[in-house]
Structure 1
Amino acid sequence: MSAQIRLVEITDANRDAVVAVRVHPAQERFVASVEKSFADARDNPEAKPWFRAACDGDVPVGFVMLSWDNVPGPGLCGPYFLWRLLVGAEHQGRGHGRAILDEVVALLRAAGATELLTSCVPGEGSPEPFYRGFGFVPTGEVDDDGEIILRLELGSRP
């Protein structure tokens, strides 16, 4: 099934509905909540956080946050880093995650980016297989939190 996803700016009008998007409880150790993401964005302005609600029609089904064109340095990957990607538990398995990443890739290409980095905690239930299936490959690096770093060459996606 092909999801029709729009990335929408988060406003006072949709904030509560976006914050209510939650992953399966078993996934919570791998993906921080939307509320935690807002706090991380506020506390780390040097990471140049960019975030959007992922909506199917008018319904928020997910959330995405990137570091957008930041200067890589200690604790900062980039210049483009997929910081958070989550799809609500009741919306999973419908292609929303891939559709969100397709939208992100299109925006990054339009901005002139050539690669997107992300990281994930390895282990049972990790999103690593999802990222690899999308085309991300491990860089061989591990961050300070023990997460593996993955790279997507934007020219490799159709």
Structure 2
Amino acid sequence: MGSPDVHLREITDDNREAVRALRVRKAQKQFVASVSRSLKDAARRPEANPWCRAVYRGDEPVGFVMLSWKPPAGPYRGRHFVWRLLVDKRYQGRGIGREALLQVAALVRADGATELLTSYWPGDGEPWPFYRKLGFRPTGEVDDGEIVLRLAFPAR
């Protein structure tokens, strides 16, 4: 199911500024870094093997997702970890984040993974309900204050 016009695109010189202009709601800023900050983090941490995509609805950039894609070392070595996910405040509540994450999960699964990981800061307005609805469950791990979640893929 899902929205057919939601899709992932590479970030290029043609769309970088539009993607960097995306913003979350003020109350969400404590939970999600901006796209600019995320791209800087990606550039600063090549060892995390960052994989960044713009989330589009039709021809409009509406969100951003960044994974640590099977990094060669560190706590998530060889695993897929959703490092950042945001949907612009103007487009929230329309299933775009859900659809983007489902597409990411399909790509990760096609890469041979048995799970997709993420983490979040607990607090008022936290994204846990969003992830729980998609099937993520706590792993019991806490990474630098963030609660680690896992979406397990059923055996093929």
Structure-1-length-normalised TM-score: 0.92
Q: Over residues 115-137 of structure 1, what are the superposed CA-to-partner deviations in whole Å (9 max), with x where a residue is unaligned?
A: 11100001110001101111100
| Corresponding residue number in structure 1 for 2:127 | 127
Stretches (4+) displaced over 3 A: none
Aligned residues: 154
Aligned CA RMSD, in angstroms, stands at 1.6
Task: Could you tell me which runs of 5 or more consecutive residues in structure 2 were left unpaired when the two chains were aligned.
Answer: none
What pairs up with 1:1-158 in 2 under 5 angstroms?
Answer: 2-3=2-3, 4-74=5-75, 76=76, 79-144=79-144, 146-155=145-154
Task: Could you tell me which runs of 5 or more consecutive residues in structure 1 were left unpaired when the two chains were aligned.
Answer: none
Is the 8 Å Cα contact of residues 22 and 89 (structure 1) preserved in structure 2? yes
Query: Partner of 2:130: helix, strand, or coil?
Result: helix
Cα drift, residue 69 of structure 1: 1.3
Cα drift, residue 108 of structure 1: 0.8
Q: Sequence identity, in percent?
A: 60
Cα drift, residue 104 of structure 1: 0.2
Counterpart amino acid of 1:151?
R
C-alpha distance in structure 2 between counterparts of 1:80 and 1:72, whole Å:
12
- Aligned pair in 2 of structure 1 residues 54, 98: CA closer, same or farther (>3 Å)? same
